[in-house]
A and B are shown apart, each in its own frame.
Chain A
Amino acid sequence: MGNISQETEATEKTVVKSEASWAEPVSKLTIADVPAGAISLNLDGHQVVGPLQGFGPMWQRTYRVRLSGVQVSPEEVIRDWKENFARFQPPENQFYPSLAGIQPGEVIFINTRLIYFPGVRGLVPMKSGVMVLYSDLEMFTVMTPEGFPISGWNTFSAFIEDGCTVAQVQGLVRTTDPIYEFGFRFMGGEGAEDKVWFHVLEQLAKHWGVQGQVQFHKVLIDPCIQWSNAKNIWKNAAIRTFFYVLASPFRWGARLFKNRI
């Protein structure tokens, strides 16, 4: 029996440290299947981008919650987080993981709203998504496509600290273009981003029966604005979604006309 458990442990370690944890290299996203309710707008044919390709200052933003008093392993937390990734989001963020779930290379479709005022939900619809860059038993990372409000990665992980399991969201991001940077700085975008991850971690803690106190800290990695990437504005997903919504009546009319013929 002793040998069997050693083999299991060795196998698990192999799974955690497998090259298969990474997404296959893609030059551009290709969307084959779209989950019900989602739209593959601002995704198909878009490149994925990292924090180096963004516009604004680069931040490392870390949100964490301690699951005190619960006997749960990091692996269990991550497994449940993957299964409930969409459910833990605030109501204004609709996430649609693909049928395969949180797997390397899979796309998670996102419908949300941007531009916030105190007491008012987001005003501008934004449809896009993220690609799962990396996924193992203890963490997973999503990477943004061109035009997404932020350029970079968000990593969702769990680990043991001082005998307590901790769940963490860590972003290494820049705003993608000057419009998003303005929105983050002056239109409540940054606060809205924080609220999302506070909500997610509170929901995760609640899922495990804990009244979690979310801790947050941010580190300015690079204060420079990358003006050479101001051109990213051409792929701004919010602007494109705005025009897509604006053109909806014409699309409905055209469909109706086509059906009558």
Chain B
Amino acid sequence: MPQASVKMQVRKASDQTIIVDIQGEITSAAENLLMDAYTQATTVGARNILLNFNDLEYMNSSGIGLLVTLLIRANRQQQRLVAYGLSEHYRQIFTLTRLNDAIAIYSNEQEALASLN
């Protein structure tokens, strides 16, 4: 399988909220990193997980599949998954794939955090 061209950083926004900064490409190669980031967020007891796509360079259809898998895992743990920083193109892809039915999308971190209150 191809090498992952992505970096993920997990940071705490509050006791219950974790932000995952995604930098690079979301493809099938990103699976382990994304799931590791999720596990890290869950381990510290996050109820809300924010995916920061500001530095997303590319995402293919396998990447969308990974997000669906992540969403299901989060739903089963009664966690809320939220996305922000998506470009117009990827906002449209979320709409086309109907991911926006289940993952709320916000323009920036401030809006996303405000939506949790």
Which residues of the other chain, B, contact A172 by a CB distance below 8 angstroms? 65, 68-69
- Of A17, A50, A58, which is within 8 A of B97 by CB? A50
Given contacts A136-B60, A139-B60, contact A221 B72 (CB under 8 A): yes
- Of A52, A136, A139, A153, which is within 8 A of B101 by CB? A52
A141 to B101 Cα, complex, angstroms: 20
Whole-angstrom distance from the CB of B47 to the nearest CB of chain A? 20
Given contacts A25-B92, A25-B96, A50-B99, contact A159 B2 (CB under 8 A): yes
A82 to B73 Cα, complex, angstroms: 33
Which residues of the other chain, B, contact A141 by a CB distance below 8 angstroms? 61-62
Contact present for A52 and B99 (CB under 8 Å): yes
- Of B61, B96, B97, which is within 8 A of A139 by CB? B61
Q: Is A232 an interface residue (CB 8 A)?
A: no
* A-B pairs under 8 A by CB, number: 71
Interface residues of B in 70-105 (CB under 8 A from A): 71-72, 75-76, 89, 92-93, 95-99, 101-102
Q: How many residues of B sit at the interface, in one of the four size bands? A: 20 to 34
Given contacts A22-B93, A25-B92, contact A221 B60 (CB under 8 A): no
- Of A25, A60, A155, which is within 8 A of B61 by CB? A155
Contact present for A155 and B96 (CB under 8 Å): no
Is chain B's interface secondary structure helix, strand, loop, or mixed overall? helix
Contact present for B25 and A159 (CB under 8 Å): no
Interface residues of A in 121-179 (CB under 8 A from B): 133-134, 136, 139, 141, 143, 153, 155, 157, 159, 161, 170, 172
Q: Nearest CB to that of A74 among chain B residues?
A: B2
Encoded as 1 (CB less than 8 Å from any A CB) or 0, chain B from 33 to 70 comes to 00000000000000000000000011011101100110
Whole-angstrom distance from the CB of A160 to the nearest CB of chain B? 8
A157 to B65 Cα, complex, angstroms: 14
Q: Nearest CB to that of B87 among chain A residues?
A: A19
Q: Can you list 18 residue pairs at the A/B interface with Cβ under 8 Å?
A: A17-B25, A19-B89, A25-B92, A52-B68, A52-B98, A52-B102, A53-B98, A58-B68, A133-B96, A139-B60, A141-B62, A143-B97, A153-B64, A155-B61, A155-B65, A221-B68, A221-B69, A222-B75
A interface residues, Cβ below 8 angstroms from B: 17, 19, 21-23, 25-26, 48-53, 58, 60, 133-134, 136, 139, 141, 143, 153, 155, 157, 159, 161, 170, 172, 221-222
Q: Which 9 A-B pairs have the closest CB atoms?
A: A141-B61, A134-B61, A25-B92, A222-B72, A25-B96, A17-B58, A50-B98, A172-B65, A50-B97
